[in-house]
Amino acid sequence: MNSLERIMAAVTGNDADYQPFTMLLSLYGSSLIKCDTVKYYQNPNLWFEGQKAVVETFDPDILISPFSFALEAEAFGCELAFLEKYAPNNKKPIITDLSQIEDLKLPEMDSPGIQYFLEATSLLSGFAKGTKAIASPIHSPCDIPALLMGLESWIDTLLFQPKYVESLLEKTMEHFVRLGNEFLVKGATFLIVPVNFTNPLMITENILKKLLPYLEKAFSQIKGPIVVHNGGCILQPFLKYFAKLPNVIAFVLDPREKFEEARQIIGNEMVLMGNFDGPGFARLSPDVAKNICLKILDNRKSDKHFIFATANADIPYETSVETIKAVVDTIRNYRKY
């Protein structure tokens, strides 16, 4: 059984040879090849070398194309702050006045920032040759505004400026659909859509209800499956809404969330993923990491629609290889089926 077949078994609820898993090792590839992170996040070939090292070292079932939302925002014109041993951050919002929304230009698919993502996805897809699932992270159309104008300004706009919400989301939806479908053309098996700013820790249920029609419209135009990712926050109070969105097949849960509760909300057919804290990896010894992993595996032993995954952001650059390997070995040696 190859990795893709293992993942498809989880989607269809069939037995696999072992528990399928993935980890967010986008940044960690640069650690494995001892590469300057500034160059790594600018050169898709370097990024690809890092991911080949990830496959050689850990062999996850799902490979994840570049995870850097700051780079996606850069394609809109945001300035980046590059950091040693970290993924880049956005420096300043580009929308400082609502009147600027009208003139906001969407990134072209052949612009350097977008090409970084697409070329990296192509390289990954060519390398995997259909034997592994490839997931492409992409910003939700309802999250991009927070990057472009700052979170508080976006919340203010959502609360008090409905006209501007509509005009901005019309643009971000168009970008989401174009880039999302382009990822699929380049070989992505599915999209991962984190909801960093569209979750119960950021917005109220009333605000979410206003955003749902935009999410429905955008998701329905994607020509492939979508995984909703926790984005560093809990999902459960909003799960019932996300579960009804078109093309959504799976959720990555926060480490604080309980799979049993999520199952009660979404039923037994959709895929649950999670919920090992990715950024927390660096603080763990191999033994502690193994025990956390075992608890998750034991909890999901009878759940055939489960994929072990790290939640939240990237596994940190300085995490020891031994700690990650301890988790990978625990998964491979676990007798689930």
Partner 1 sequence: MDKLENQRILASLIGEGEKDKSVDLLLEWASQSSFKEVIFNILEPLLVQWGKLWMQGKLSLAHGYLSGKVAEEFYLIASKNEEFMNSKAKNKGTIILGNIEDDFHPLGRRLVNIFATAAGWNIIDLGNDVPAEIFVEKAVENQAKIIAVSAMMFTTAKNILKIRTEIDRIFLSDKIKLAVGGAVFKLRPELVEEIGGDGTADNAIEAPALFDSLLLKCKG
Residues at the contact surface with partner 1, assessed by CB under 8 A: 81, 83, 86, 89, 91-93, 150-153, 155-156, 158-160, 200-204, 206-207, 234, 256
Closest approach of partner 1 to the CB of residue 1, in Å: 39
| For partner 1, the closer CB: 61 or 257 | 257
Contact call for residues 173 and 104 (beta carbons, < 8 A): no
- List the strands of the sheet with 133-137, edge to edge: 21-22, 306-311, 271-277, 248-252, 226-229, 190-194, 133-137, 62-64
| For partner 1, the closer CB: 128 or 203 | 203
Closest approach of partner 1 to the CB of residue 243, in Å: 20
Contact call for residues 248 and 218 (beta carbons, < 8 A): no
Strands 190-194 and 133-137, bridge-based pairing: parallel
| Structure tokens belonging to residue 311 | 């939640």
Closest approach of partner 1 to the CB of residue 58, in Å: 25
CB atoms within 10 A of CB 75: 20
Closest approach of partner 1 to the CB of residue 334, in Å: 30
| For partner 1, the closer CB: 91 or 263 | 91
Distance CA 38, CA 19 (A): 35
Closest approach of partner 1 to the CB of residue 205, in Å: 9
Closest approach of partner 1 to the CB of residue 202, in Å: 5
| For partner 1, the closer CB: 206 or 333 | 206
| For partner 1, the closer CB: 56 or 160 | 160
| For partner 1, the closer CB: 60 or 93 | 93
Contact call for residues 331 and 61 (beta carbons, < 8 A): no
Altogether, the residues listed in the chain come to a count of 337
| Structure tokens belonging to residue 30 | 């640069």
| Tally of CA atoms within 13 A in the half-sphere of 91 that contains its CB | 8
| For partner 1, the closer CB: 99 or 206 | 206
Contacts of residue 39, Cβ cutoff 8 Å, sequence gap at least 6: 46
Closest approach of partner 1 to the CB of residue 82, in Å: 9
Contacts of residue 326, Cβ cutoff 8 Å, sequence gap at least 6: 286, 287, 289, 290, 293
| For partner 1, the closer CB: 44 or 88 | 88
Tell me the CA distances in angstroms from 138 to 60, 125, 229, 261, one per residue in order.
20, 17, 10, 27
Closest approach of partner 1 to the CB of residue 324, in Å: 21
Distance CA 32, CA 213 (A): 42
Distance CA 235, CA 249 (A): 15
Strands 89-90 and 133-137, bridge-based pairing: unpaired
